[in-house]
Amino acid sequence: MDRAAETLDSLMGALLTDAPGVRDLLRARLAAAQQAADAPAAARAATLLLLHSLADFADFRGLAVALAAFDPTPADPADRMRADAVVLGRPSLDHAHDHDDPGLVPVRQRLFDDLRNRVDLAPDERLLLAKVLVDHDSMRNDMTACARVLALMQDLLPRASLRWQATWWRMAAETHAYTGHTSLAQAANAQLQALLPRLDWPEATLALA
């Protein structure tokens, strides 16, 4: 792996922990790559910036620049899984794209297969990419597909960080509540409530009652 890619992987780790200043670092990395006319490096930085937005839809600084620099079909297979997740999440960030685009069907299947089969992915990143997939399926109102992804990640959860366990349980509770599966929503919310005292989350009040 080249040093630029290695540094971006370090930034991915900072993204997953939502380290202070990580978005500024990613924006600076994107700007430096563009100034150096390094399109692949710019695309990698753009992918991480977009994943940062898709993680919690809380920070959209530099969104237009990232969308313009994003490459949906990177040459490096190592970048493809992250790019596939961004392709599926992009309609939520850019209304020029649509979650119901038939062209997203094979991308969705490839990401699902990678989440199921790849073993070289850290638990937190796997949950981030799976979250983007669930968000995409929810926007398509395909709750059967959502349930499959939720079930796929179940055994992984104990190996993930507390932050991502809580993020996942909150999303699961909201998804089950939306589909009317009250008992499943309550069970997921109970898991979330058990984690919240161990986290310093300002958004803890968003937990389902």
198 is a domain residue: no
Residue 166 lies in a domain: no
Q: How many domains does the chain have?
A: 1
Whole-angstrom Cα distance, residue 14 to residue 67? 21
- Residue 141 DSSP one-character state: T
Is position 168 within any domain?
no
Q: Is residue 24 part of a domain?
A: yes
Whether 174 is in a domain gets the answer no
78-89 confidence digits (pLDDT tens): 799 999 999 999
Residue 178 resides in a domain: no
Strands (E), 114-163: none
pLDDT for 37-55, tens place per residue?
Answer: 999 999 999 999 999 999 9
Between residues 204 and 159, the one the model is more confident about: 159
pLDDT value, residue 19:
87
Question: Per-residue pLDDT tens for 84-142?
Answer: 999 999 999 999 999 999 999 999 999 999 999 998 899 999 999 999 999 999 999 99
Contact 119, 165 (CB under 8 A): no
The verdict on residue 121 lying in a domain is yes
Instruction: Look at residue 75 and give its three-state secondary structure.
Output: coil
pTM equals 0.91
The parent domain of residue 93 ranges over 3-160
Residues 143 and 179: beta-carbon distance below 8 Å: yes
Report yes or no on 185 lying in a domain. Answer: no
Question: In the structure, what pLDDT confidence band is assigned to residue 34 with cuts at 50, 70 and 90?
Answer: very high
